[in-house]
Amino acid sequence: MASEARIGASDDELELLTGEAVGLDLRPTSFVLRAAGAIIDFLVYFGLWLLILLAISSPWFNGALDAASGAAITLSSLVFCIVVAPTAVETITQGKSLGKLAVGARIVRDDGGSIGLRHAFIRALTGVLEVFFTLGGIAAMTALLNERTKRVGDLLAGTYSQNERVSSATPPVFGAPVGLEEWARTADVARMPDGLSRRIAQFLRQASRLTPDARDTLARSLASEASVFVSPLPPVSAELFLAAASAVRRDREFAALQLEATRLEALRPALESVPHGFPER
């Protein structure tokens, strides 16, 4: 992952800008969803502990265990259910749990990467106090005062809960910029490498969020790479050139796909039919 440049907060999301000045849309889970997921996890782990207690109090174990052994198993099972099990689950699933799956959340590092054993253990250890012993009181107060709804365990581990069920908005589709319509009809725009095309598309989507200097620098760099695939070059700014070249290439590839589909449809009867007299099987 590229080095982090800065993290800025907006009204409804937090944006992570990488070293290439590309914004990553990483949305924290809301307080209500975090609470719902925590309740589910609490019931699951507490229910697991109750099942263990019922098992050791059954006639098969009750006669074989003395009072000291029963107390030791009870305490050990409690530690297992509220520390070991949550740590193992979040480490193996990279930030998931049953409650988080239900609400569409995942625990990630502050830079957006997957958590490891250290992060999961710190969260589980602090969760003993702020979630289990206080029934979520400390965690709720901390999350309400934090812009990313972090609890104490997240603050110590450097993690937060990321919402993975964000409704995707359909991006607008733009044609060639005004003044370049004639150029777009006659320009030779060759197919660009996939990596370059993706970087150009990502830049055009995120350009309005960049600072003017970063926007101009990145546009010039991408335009320099893309210029070898375009002839003639229009006398416009680097960003307008990228928008125009992308629009031309997109429209022509779409037209080629439509033409191919039309030809295949015309050939469908011949492709699906069998020779005269050939038995159908």
Residues 187 and 158 in one domain: no
Residues 188 and 245 in one domain: yes
230 contacts: CB under 8 Å, gap ≥ 6: 187, 188, 189, 190, 241, 245
Q: What is the pLDDT of residues 136-188, one digit of tens each?
A: 889 899 999 988 889 999 999 999 998 887 665 566 666 777 788 888 888 88
Three-state DSSP at 65 gives coil
**The domain boundary residue, chosen from 114, 133, 163:** 163
Host domain of residue 120: 4-163
Closest by CA position to 193, among listed 227, 226, 238:
226
Residue 66 lies in a domain: yes
Residues 110 and 227 in one domain: no
Average pLDDT, the chain: 82
In the numeric block, which tokens belong to residue 13? 């999301």
Give the pLDDT of residue 224.
92
Q: Exposure pattern of 118-142 as b/e (b: 16+ CB <10 Å)?
A: ebbbbbbbbbbebbbeeebebbbeb
Give the pLDDT of residue 88.
94
Give the pLDDT of residue 20.
42
Residues 191 and 252 in one domain: yes
Residues 190 and 109 in one domain: no
Residue 61 lies in a domain: yes
Residues 266 and 153 in one domain: no
Residues 69 and 131 in one domain: yes
Strand 188-189 relative to strand 23-26: parallel, antiparallel, unpaired? unpaired
Residues 196 and 157 in one domain: no
Give the pLDDT of residue 278.
63
Residue 124 lies in a domain: yes
pTM over 0.85: no
Domain count, the chain: 2
Residue 176 lies in a domain: no
Say how many C-beta atoms besides its own lie within 10 A of residue 105's C-beta.
26
**The domain boundary residue, chosen from 132, 163, 194:** 163
Terminus-to-terminus CA distance in the chain, angstroms?
A: 55
Angle between helices 194-206 and 212-226 (to 10 degrees): 150
